[in-house]
Amino acid sequence: MATTTESEGEEEGKLVGNEHLLVEDDLREMGKKAVWSVSSCKPGNGVHSLRDDNLDTYWQSDGAQPHLINIQFQKKVKLQLLVLYVDFKLDESYTPSKISIRAGDGFHNLKEIKTVELVKPVGWVYISLSGTDPREAFINTFMVQLAVLSNHLNGRDTHVRQIKLYGPRPNPIPHQPFQFTSREFITYSSVR
């Protein structure tokens, strides 16, 4: 689901962004169930700007790199996709160029699961949280940390306009191997 550069003289595997947020129906947004915190912020550009669904507002860090966004859940959750909105045209040197995604039970045991390079991204950047093993379609974790390691043009502070986390939608009928979509099938899917 990630948008990668074509062969325009840039390394393959670097993300550039997508104008529209397009997420599959079998995923649901999990960010509303989390507690969000950031390592630093300028007054008026805090963590609330990451989740307000307004692309004109942004979180702006204030301090030394790496800049951290911490997302903690009360119980272990399955996460499959992290989507962030960044805009190189508006933010220039404030735009992240290299980010690290870490996961774990808490601050004490975070492990890096992915490092991503962004190439002048404009729009939604899709980052799959699944491992290299195709059987691991998601991660099961209490906490996700996004660390901005560097910015474009060697910028010091960073702007991130929105972040969304998606996990697999649970099967409405427990222990049911099939996912029925119509109400009629769901009604007659189990014997009482």
- Any domain includes 7: no
- Any domain includes 20: no
pLDDT confidence of residue 7? 35
Run of H or E residues at 150: strand 139-151
37 or 190, higher pLDDT: 37
23 or 187, higher pLDDT: 23
pLDDT confidence of residue 9? 36
Q: What is the DSSP letter of 170?
A: P
pLDDT (tens digit, 9 = 90+) per residue, 148-188? 999 999 999 999 999 999 998 876 656 666 666 677 777 77
Q: How far apart are CA 143 and CA 71, in angstroms?
A: 6
pLDDT exceeds 70 at position 32: yes
pLDDT confidence of residue 135? 61
pLDDT (tens digit, 9 = 90+) per residue, 79-116? 999 999 999 999 999 999 999 999 999 999 999 999 99
- Any domain includes 21: no
Residue 1 has which token pair?
A: 């689901």
pLDDT confidence of residue 14? 74
The pLDDT-based confidence of 191 (bands split at 50, 70, 90) is low
pLDDT exceeds 70 at position 4: no
Question: 166 is in which domain, residue-wise?
Answer: 27-187
pLDDT exceeds 50 at position 1: no
- Any domain includes 6: no
CA-only gyration radius of the chain, Å: 18
pLDDT confidence of residue 13? 58
Q: What is the DSSP letter of 101?
A: E
Cα 184 to Cα 173, 179, 190: the distances in Å are 14, 13, 12
Q: Are 137 and 130 in contact (CB under 8 A)?
A: yes
Average pLDDT, the chain: 86
Report the domain count for the chain.
1
CATH number, position 73: 2.60.120.260
- Any domain includes 5: no
What mean pLDDT is predicted for residues 23-42?
93
- Any domain includes 181: yes
